[in-house]
Amino acid sequence: MTTSREIRLASRPVGMPVAENFQIAACELAEPGPGEVLVHNKFMSVDPYMRGRMVDRASYVPPFAIGEVLQGGAIGVVAHSNAEGLKKGDIVSSMFGWREAFVAPAAALEKLDVPARVPMESFLGVLGMPGLTAWAGLMQIGKPKPGDVVFVSGAAGAVGSIVVQVAKLKGCTVVATAGSDEKCEWLKSVGVDHAINYRTCGDLLAAVQAAAPKGIDIYFDNVGGEHLEVAIEVARPFARLIECGMISAYNDTDPAPGPRNMIQIVGKSLTIRGFIVMEFAGLRGDFIAEVGGWIRSGKLKWQETVLEGIEQAPAAFIGLFEGKNTGKMLVKL
């Protein structure tokens, strides 16, 4: 028997999640049966979309159940295998996060071929779901062209920090917002043309207009709210607005007002398109080929914020909404 600790949903958050919404518990894992493997997780992911799963409502993924272990992306190492195709020591990706270890059918796991000098946890970030979200959203919906002006909100997060670099690699001018001067300095270090601290700039619209006096061609939205209203205001005719996330509203207890300038969508012939990354799962091979090439050549960089220990998972998750991460937020197990 293997003892594993896990994080369960104790209660549904109302507004900002708090520590009391989570419960740490221990469980005993049986030996893996035929076709099953025992995996010890090494890293787990926390992501903003998980907040929506803590609400009991129909969505594109089922809600988390009270009293049950939470789910999320994880990278682990096979400790014992009773399945063909997986052996002890293999590195695997799964959706069995929020726990130190688990037993599962091999078919529920993906064996990873981790390149030399690329850490395994990068498959939860730059080479994982956030990276695919950034690359596919920008390339498939934004369709950037050299000379385009791209505005990215929440640009120091797991997705935004990749979007800005892909846009630069495609020959675009990039205007980005983040929540601290330190984050803005990091964005400038990877080539962002204009980095705006939205917490201290005063008038966000005026700051973006100063950075993009001729307007923007693409907006990649991770924040929503005022940022979306500003994007509509500064959009050029036929601009593409990519709606990836609206973290500013995830903890609202009442519906937030919509942008006051939506009438401009008509006059400017704007395209506003929301998406879920699963829509582009079939492009993962192309994504790995292009982004992996940029990583190998040193053209694309990434950052991670890592908390250690399964007991830190709730704090890591709550930290996403407090701006405590630069790049991907991870928990090392």
Distances (CA, A) of 27 to 65, 82, 245, 324, 327: 17, 21, 34, 31, 32
Mean pLDDT of 159-174: 98
Phi, psi of 35, rounded to the nearest 5 degrees? 80, 5
pLDDT confidence band for 165 (50 / 70 / 90):
very high
Q: H helices within 12-107, ranges in order? A: 50-53
Give the tens place of pLDDT for each residue, 21-60: 999 999 999 999 999 999 999 999 999 999 999 999 988 8
What is the structure's pLDDT at 117?
78
Q: Is the per-residue pLDDT at 239 higher than 80?
A: yes
Phi, psi of 232 (to 5 degrees): -60, -40
Q: Is the CB of residue 163 less than 8 Å from the CB of residue 141? A: no
Taking Cα atoms as reference points, which of 7, 99, 9, 17 lies closest to residue 51?
Answer: 17
What does the mean pLDDT of the chain come to? 97
Amino acid 145 reads K
- Give the Cβ contact number of residue 25 at 10 Å: 13
3-class SS of residue 235: strand
Residue 206 and residue 194: Cα distance in Å, rounded?
13
Percent of the chain topping pLDDT 90: 95
Is the predicted pLDDT of residue 273 greater than 90, yes or no? yes
User: What pLDDT score does 256 carry?
Assistant: 87
Structure token pair of residue 104? 């599962």
User: CB of 47 within 8 A of CB of 124?
Assistant: no
Helix, strand, coil distribution of the chain in percent, nearest 5: 30, 30, 40
Taking only the tens place, the pLDDT of each residue in 107-129 is 999 999 988 778 999 999 999 99
Q: What average pLDDT does this structure show over 92-111?
A: 97
What domains, with CATH codes, occur in the chain? 2-124+303-332 (3.90.180.10), 129-278 (3.40.50.720)
Strand ranges, E, within the chain: 2-9, 22-29, 36-45, 74-81, 91-94, 101-105, 110-111, 149-152, 173-178, 194-197, 216-221, 235-243, 271-274, 304-308, 328-332
Whole-angstrom distance, CA of residue 253 vs CA of residue 249 = 9
Residue 195: the pLDDT is 98
The mean pLDDT of 279-294, rounded to a whole number, is: 96
Instruction: Give the pLDDT confidence score for residue 115 in this predicted structure.
Output: 81
Distance between CA atoms of residues 208 and 196, nearest Å = 8
What is the C-alpha to C-alpha distance for residues 32 and 38, in angstroms, rounded to an integer? 6
Q: 142 CB contacts (<8 Å, ≥6 apart)?
A: 150, 218, 220, 240, 242
Summarize pLDDT for 187-214 with one digit per residue, the tens. 999 999 999 999 999 999 999 999 999 9
The model's pTM: 0.95
Q: What is the pLDDT of residue 88?
A: 97
Beta-strand relationship, 149-152 and 110-111: unpaired
